[in-house]
Amino acid sequence: MPPDPTPDDAPSAAGGLAAALRDWSAALGAERVRTDDALLDRYAATTLPSAPRPLAVLFPRDRDQVVACVRGARATGVPLYPISRGRNWGYGDACPPRPGQVVLDLSGMNRVLDVDETLASAEIEPGVTQGQLADLLEARGGALWLDSTGAGPDTSIVGNILDRGFGHTPYGNRPLAVCGLEVVTGRGEILRTGFGHYADAQAHATFPYGLGPSLDGLFMQSNFGVVTRLRLWLMPRPQAYGLFVCSLPGDGDLEPAVETLRGLKLDGTLRSVVHLGNDLRLLSSLQTARSLGLGSGALDASRRAALRGKAGIGAWTFAGGLYGEGDQVRTAGRRLRRLARARGWRFELVTGRTLAAADRLAPLARRLGLARQALARLSAARGLYDLNRGRPSRGFLAGAYWRHRAGLPERFPEHAEPALDDCGLLWLSPVLPATGPAARQLLELVEPLFAAHGFDFLVTFSTVNERSLAAVMTIAFDRTDPAEARRAEACYEACFEAVMAAGFVPYRVGIQSMPRLAEGSQGFWPTVARLREALDPDGIIAPGRYEPDPGPDPGRENRPR
């Protein structure tokens, strides 16, 4: 049974909930309407210090059941929080931004409805995972590649896109790969965007704007409706592909790296999302603080330099893919290598041939004790090589366990469930113009705050488009230590305030920051509220999701034990 809603955390009375549960059970079948504690515990599991617990979980099987859920919610005033796979780690996991909501779990709607190899796209439901689509495309012969994020094969593609996640390939600016949505609005009506609402429109899967205003943007980072289908553009397998990895020895190499990457993005040499990470971010993707034998505080500078030396990595590393005809990839590779050499950066281009050769040579090299660092780097590069051609891997989830007391789970990476494993993870993701000075200003602002709160500073900068970087800064903490969790929260809040005050607005926020989105803003959010009213007049879809709250913080449940 759901816990009794208390007056200040549940907009609907307990009677409303009971009526809603009856209504939904009638429409979906009782087995698709769950309120048992064990299940709710699982959905309330979070990587944040705390997050609201849902009142119930619904499992619609198809779009018509989603319509029934929304109508039931409207009739009873009990709000729904739609999730696709619920793996929004570091930003709120499966948890709604406010208490008193019922999770609408769309994971059972996981059909790939169409794959078009000529025009390179697929139509998918929200439950489709990265791994599922990658496997399906591979099984069909691999003529199409997916864009993949580092969050592993079990995450939803639609869910990530609706939060404007980004990936690694030329299709990594993911909102640009969307060509039409099917949405159940907060009114319970079905809306098809783009050309999709015209019966038999021939270009529905190829022309995203449609005719008249374009509505797709309304359904990203919002709470206007439930997306039940999405047409995703895919990348035809290029004739040639290579991964480049570039290692920069000094911290001061950051500025020229950012300037170089901007130039290469703007002139079309780099078509994909390049990720530039600091030493700790790279280390944390390979091992945990525990496995390195580090204590519980943040690393000091000398220890950090020693670790860097031992791992043979630079202060910064950037990596990305090159795609195209053979001569296109060679031309671009030569250009990058030339630029890197001029700066004294170590540059490696990893191709399928390189990896095969490494496999052949590895046993011998190991026996002779040769080239150990180079081999370790190549092995690490293999994961990136696959990721940059759309093969998701759980390996990159290691970062979530960086400060986990127990280190990586025994069966990692086959088993990796950061929220269920009590990983502590807060992500802060400000956007900056892609200039060296802006990157430096951001670091100088935030790194001291991490240090002051006793956390390692893990950061990546990603070229989300030609002119911007998205920084992703990780506060990894031991969630089983309440004092550390409180410190993590304080660190996050201090950083959030600092970046907002300096004009580094995030591209995405965790549920804990959604109430504060109107700070420093003029005119925008009241307009958003009016638009929402047009599509969800009763406010029953995900109240609080990307919706600033003028009232007092309603408090949080599910604090760490």
Amino acid sitting at position 456: D
- What amino acid is encoded at 387 in this protein? L
Residue recorded with tokens 């990692």: 412
State the minimum distance, in angstroms, from the CB of residue 531 to its own copies. 5
Task: Provide φ and ψ at 65, rounded to 5°.
Answer: -70, -30
> Judging by DSSP bridges, how do beta strands 121-124 and 235-236 pair with one another?
unpaired
Residue 186 and residue 71 in contact, taking contact as beta carbons nearer than 8 Å: no
Copy the structure tokens of residue 356: 């095969």
Q: What's the Rg (C-alpha) of the chain?
A: 24
113 closest CA partner among 236, 228, 235: 228
d(C-alpha 170, C-alpha 493), whole Å: 34
238 binds its own copies (CB under 8 A): yes
Query: Any contact of residue 325 with its own copies (CB under 8 A)?
Result: yes
- Please check whether residue 508 is in contact with residue 502, taking contact to mean a CB–CB distance below 8 angstroms: no
Q: Which of 25, 35, 287, 328 binds its own copies (CB under 8 A)?
A: 328
Closest approach, Cβ 44 to its own copies, in A, equals 25
CB of 263 to its own copies, least distance (A): 8
Residue closer to its own copies by CB (options 175, 413) is 175
Alpha helical stretches, state H, 29-171:
37-44, 63-76, 130-139, 157-162
> Among 133, 134, 158, 205, which residue interacts with its own copies (rule: CB under 8 A)?
205
Beta carbon of residue 211, minimum distance to its own copies (angstroms, whole number) = 6
Residues 29-88 that bind its own copies (CB under 8 A): none
Of the pair 5, 539, the CB lying nearest its own copies is at 539
For residue 424, report the phi and psi dihedrals to the nearest 5 degrees. -100, 125
> Is residue 118 near its own copies by the rule CB under 8 A?
yes
Binding pattern to its own copies, positions 395-424, x when CB under 8 A? ------------------------------
Select the span of 43-51, 96-104, 218-226, 339-347 touching its own copies (CB under 8 A). 218-226
Kindly compute the dihedral angle of the four CA atoms of residues 24, 27, 28, 33, in this order, to the nearest 10 degrees: 20
Nearer to its own copies, 24 or 496 (CB): 496
* Residues from 165 through 204 that contact its own copies (CB under 8 A): 170, 175-176, 179, 185, 189-193, 195, 197-203
Q: Specify the residue, 63 or 453, whose C-beta has the smaller distance to its own copies.
A: 63
Question: In whole angstroms, how far apart are CA 211 and each of 178, 198, 204, 503?
Answer: 16, 10, 11, 35
CB under 8 A: which stretch of 100-108, 356-364, 485-493, 533-541 binds its own copies? 533-541
Contacts to its own copies from residues 250-289, by CB under 8 A: 266-269, 271
Taking the C-alpha atoms of residue 380 and residue 373, their distance in angstroms, rounded to an integer, is 11
The tokens for 340 are 């890197």
**Least gap, CB of 464 to its own copies (angstroms):** 7
Is 216 a binding residue for its own copies by CB under 8 A? The answer is: yes
Query: Residue 438, interface with its own copies (CB under 8 A)?
Result: yes
The verdict on 435 binding its own copies (CB under 8 A) reads yes
From the CB of 171, what's the least distance to its own copies, in Å? Answer: 10
Residues facing residue 240 across a β-bridge: 324
> Which among 77-85, 105-113, 396-404, 502-510 is the span making contact with its own copies, rule CB under 8 A?
502-510
**How many other CB atoms are found less than 10 A from the CB of residue 393?**
20
* 223 Cβ contact partners less than 8 Å away, ≥ 6 residues apart: 186, 532, 536, 541, 542, 543, 544, 545, 546, 547
Q: Which stretch binds its own copies (CB under 8 A): 27-35, 339-347, 402-410, 524-532?
A: 524-532
Q: Indicate whether 220 belongs to the interface with its own copies (CB under 8 A).
A: yes
Nearest to 230 by CA among 211, 218, 216: 216
Binding of its own copies at residue 134 (CB under 8 A)?
no
Looking at 132-140, 381-389, 448-456, 526-534, which segment touches its own copies (CB under 8 A)?
526-534
Tokens for 373, please give them: 């660092």
Q: Which of 30, 119, 306, 406 binds its own copies (CB under 8 A)?
A: 119
Residue 520 binds its own copies, judged by CB under 8 A: yes
Residues 139-158 that bind its own copies (CB under 8 A): none
Q: Footprint of its own copies on residues 452-471 (CB under 8 A)?
A: 464-468
- How far from 348 is each of 128, 336, 359, CA to CA, in Å? 34, 10, 17
Nearer to its own copies, 162 or 350 (CB): 162
- Specify the pairing of strand 275-278 against strand 458-462: antiparallel
Q: CB of 216: closest distance to its own copies in angstroms?
A: 6
Nearer CB in complex with its own copies: 176/452: 176
In whole angstroms, the minimum distance from the beta carbon of 165 to its own copies comes to: 12
